[in-house]
A = this chain, B = another copy of it.
Amino acid sequence: MPINQLRQALHDQGLKLTRSRLAVLQVLAATSAHLKVAEVHRRARQIDGRVGLASVYRTMELLARLRLVKHVHVEHRHRHYARIREHHGHHLVCNGCGLVVEFSDCQLERLTRALARRTKFRIEGHCMEFFGQCRECRCRPASNTARGKRKS
């Protein structure tokens, strides 16, 4: 999302484009892996040393509300986020290096309808994720720091 469009989106809700938010956005723009909040914070500080952890939490929550990021359900104790670029995006996640590939052709409409009919639920949404090993991690199984990324 271009920065001016974002500024507009924030403005529409009476929100400001602040130092901290800019730093976090730069961090997200520079990676294609999912990150835990503490890691976003660490990287944001390299851009602007004054950014506080609480603000990163607040910003990630805001970005999730604006649908610019999304939880990834890796089985860690902490929350991981990945960027969203596509409108109705789902994620394919590499268990080795954290690389995230997005796709939007989830083809779940038919399943949704069938389930709704069968269960009498009003279905309001779904989450779907795939996980595995990316090409790079598959070819280099010994190293667990592919792409120079540490665990995060």
Binding site for B on A (CB under 8 A): 71, 73, 75, 92, 94-95, 101, 103, 105-107, 111-112, 115-116, 118-135, 138
Contacts and interface: CB of A to CB of B under 8 A. Distances in A.
- Please state the number of chain copies in the assembly: 2
A106 to B, nearest CB: 7
Nearest to A99: B121
A106 B115 CA distance: 10
Contact of A135 (B112, B120, B129): B120
A129 B126 contact: yes
Contact of A132 (B122, B130, B131, B134): B122
A119 B106 contact: no
Contact of A111 (B101, B107, B122): B107
A92 B123 contact: yes
A106 B130 CA distance: 13
A104 to B, nearest CB: 12
B130 A123 contact: yes
B73 A92 contact: no
Nearest to A79: B77
Contact of A121 (B92, B115, B119, B125): B92
A78 B46 CA distance: 31
A132 B135 CA distance: 36
